[in-house]
Structure 1
Amino acid sequence: MSSLEAARAATAMQEYIEERMTEPITLRELADTAGYSPWHAARLFKEATGLSPFDYIRARRLTKAALALRDGGDRILDVALDFVFGSHEGFTRAFSKAFGISPKKYSLQTPPIKLFMPNRAIETFRYYFKEEKQMSDTAVKAIFVQVIERPARKCLLLRGKTAEDYFEYCEEVGCDVWSVLTSVKEALYEPIGMWLPKALVTPGTSLYVQGVEVPQDYSNLVPDGYELVDLPPCTMMVFQGEPYDDEAFEQAIGEVWEHVKKFDPRLYGYDWAPEAAPRFQLAPMGYRGYIEAYPVKELN
């Protein structure tokens, strides 16, 4: 079996889990989804995710339960039962161990916490897709462009050291920053990866960071190592590629970057304004296409 086939099997099992988060899930069901024996499926799953299927399911259910407590008014017992925990006490112990705060206290305060986010075996895809992808020289890809306005706001972010892109950033600070950013209840938009303008890069820190934009009056907890920075109003030109297969994310990003290199915003009454705001990217998700935004200013 190739490593790519193993990654695809693990991803199929992860998708099965996501679709049945509120239902009992057996190893036999996961094995049937992957097309292997239970023993072999469990081994493949752990190699791809670092966790046994049982531990992975538990971690994902706790994350979903935390989001339910953050966003809704459901009773803790109801949330526990919804995510297949047998009792209030068992759920409270598991939740407190996972997040360092009891579910009752979390539902009242909703501070940023470290959620467990699935990686969809993407790191394996990253290496093996390079060997198997075939790019067509004649294929024409549509890139959609729109202009949006961002209001004055703050950004809760974590800086790296010297990173200039996502992979360098992960090597410096780890790949779990997104899980904390996703938990922020006051978020104005989804988390983003950012290339900061020079004015926002402090000495000895990275050009590339990850963060989430929050209201100017944000007053909740700032996790250790994170900071709040002010972002002024800005105009962003957003580039969105076509939907793509998730394993082809590097190609999708490259297509948008190549389009931006050749794009002249002056034809539409704008010019690039790299110091006005961070350039940012959304998490690559195949169903919506790769999305990246660049700061611009309107021409007089």
Structure 2
Amino acid sequence: MNQEEMKSAVQRMQEYIDTHLLERITLKQLSDSAGYSPWHAARIFKENTGKTPFDYMRSVRLSRAALVLRDANPRIIDVALDFVFDSHEGFTRAFSKEFGISPKRYRQSTPPIQLFLPEKVFDSYRAIQKGGMKMNEKKAEKKTKSIFVQVIERPARKVLLKRGIRATEYFGYCEEVGCDVWPLLTSVKEALYEPVGMWLPKSLIKEGTSEYVQGVELPLDYGNQIPDGYELMELPPCMMMIFQGEPYDDEDFMEAIDEVWQHIEKFDPEIYGYQWNREAAPRFQLAPMGYRGYIEAIPVAALHK
């Protein structure tokens, strides 16, 4: 079995788990979806995800259950049974072990927690393979893509963020900090918008820390817990110019980012009556998702005539 075949088999098991998450799933059912024996399927699954199939299922179920508790007010026993736990006690033990807080206390205060949001193994593999080219390399006979541009206002707000050391972009940041920042940011109930990757202006970079960080914007009255290693910063109101590329196949995300970056490099904001105002706020990028196109935002100020 080559790498591509193995990772495709593991992703089929991941997708089977997603589809049948609220049902009991046996190793035989998972191995059938992969097309291999139960022993071989379990082995390659752990090799590629770092978890056994049943540990993986439990972590996914607990994270989905946490979001239900965060966003609604159901009975804990109902959530436990919905996510295939046999009892209130068993669910509470598993939840407390996973997140360090009981489901009852979590529902009451909803502090940021480390959700388990696994990537699809085969999709990630294909993206890395295709991403071997340099970001600024151009494909021959590349089709010109449309970039949608608009200006939005961001209110005064706070941002919960985690700094790196020297990182100036996403991959360097992940090497320094790890890949577990996004799941925690996603758990924050009070978030104004989805989590973002940010390039901080010079005035907000602390000595010995990175330009690139990840964070989530929050209301000014946010008063919940600040996780270890994170900090809370206040940002003034600002205007952001948003650049959004065309939808793309997820495995082509690096090319999609490059297309938007090339457009920004040549773009003159005065066409819209604005000028760059890069020290006013962090430039940010949303998580690349093919269905909506790559999205990035740069702070601007109106030109006074």
TM-score range, shorter chain: over 0.9
Q: Does 1:145 align with 2:149?
A: yes
Deviation of 1:117 after TM superposition, in Å, equals 1.0
For the residues of structure 2 that align with 1:113 and 1:162, how far apart are their CA atoms? 26
Q: Aligned residues: percent identity? A: 66
For the residues of structure 1 that align with 2:74 and 2:89, how far apart are their CA atoms? 16
Scaled by the length of structure 2, what TM-score is found?
0.92
Query: Are the aligned partners of 2:127 and 2:250 in contact in 1 as well (CA < 8 Å)?
Result: no
Secondary structure of residue in 2 paired with 1:256: helix
Letter in 2 for 1:256: V
Query: Which residue of 2 is the match for residue 55 of structure 1?
Result: 55
Query: Which residue of 2 is the match for residue 204 of structure 1?
Result: 208
Post-superposition Cα deviations, 1:54-96, rounded to whole Å, max 9, x if no partner, equal: 1111100000011111110100000001111111111001000
Secondary structure of residue in 1 paired with 2:12: helix
Query: Are the aligned partners of 2:152 and 2:240 in contact in 1 as well (CA < 8 Å)?
Result: yes
Letter in 1 for 2:8: R
User: CA, structure 1 residues 135+38, in 2 after alignment: closer, same or farther (shift >3 Å)?
Assistant: farther
1:172 alignment partner, one of 176, 179, 200: 176
Deviation of 1:11 after TM superposition, in Å, equals 2.6
Unaligned residue ranges in structure 2 (runs of 5+): none
User: CA, structure 1 residues 38+248, in 2 after alignment: closer, same or farther (shift >3 Å)?
Assistant: farther
For the residues of structure 2 that align with 1:252 and 1:4, how far apart are their CA atoms? 23
Deviation of 1:41 after TM superposition, in Å, equals 2.9
Q: Does 1:128 align with 2:132?
A: no
For the residues of structure 2 that align with 1:21 and 1:50, how far apart are their CA atoms? 19
Query: Which residue of 1 is the match for residue 98 of structure 2?
Result: 98
Q: Over aligned residue pairs, what C-alpha RMSD do you find?
A: 1.9
- Comparing 34-43 with 164-173, greater Cα deviation is found at 34-43
Scaled by the length of structure 1, what TM-score is found?
0.94
Query: Are the aligned partners of 1:7 and 1:125 in contact in 2 as well (CA < 8 Å)?
Result: no
Deviation of 1:32 after TM superposition, in Å, equals 3.5
1:181 alignment partner, one of 185, 199, 219: 185
Deviation of 1:136 after TM superposition, in Å, equals 4.6
1:289 alignment partner, one of 286, 293, 299: 293
Query: Are the aligned partners of 2:242 and 2:296 in contact in 1 as well (CA < 8 Å)?
Result: yes
Equivalent residues in 2 for 1:76-95, closer than 5 Å: 76-95=76-95
Post-superposition Cα deviations, 1:115-168, rounded to whole Å, max 9, x if no partner, equal: 111122255334322469994523122222221111000000111111111111
For the residues of structure 2 that align with 1:34 and 1:259, how far apart are their CA atoms? 42
Query: Which residue of 1 is the match for residue 109 of structure 2?
Result: 109
Q: Does 1:263 align with 2:264?
A: no
Query: Are the aligned partners of 1:3 and 1:128 in contact in 2 as well (CA < 8 Å)?
Result: no
For the residues of structure 1 that align with 2:211 and 2:228, how far apart are their CA atoms? 20
Secondary structure of residue in 1 paired with 2:301: strand
For the residues of structure 2 that align with 1:127 and 1:32, how far apart are their CA atoms? 27
Deviation of 1:14 after TM superposition, in Å, equals 2.0
Deviation of 1:267 after TM superposition, in Å, equals 1.0
Q: Does 1:278 align with 2:282?
A: yes
Query: Are the aligned partners of 1:48 and 1:124 in contact in 2 as well (CA < 8 Å)?
Result: no
For the residues of structure 2 that align with 1:118 and 1:86, how far apart are their CA atoms? 24
Secondary structure of residue in 2 paired with 1:164: coil
Equivalent residues in 2 for 1:28-47, closer than 5 Å: 28-47=28-47
Unaligned residue ranges in structure 1 (runs of 5+): none
Letter in 2 for 1:159: R
Q: How many residues align?
A: 300
For the residues of structure 2 that align with 1:167 and 1:141, how far apart are their CA atoms? 25
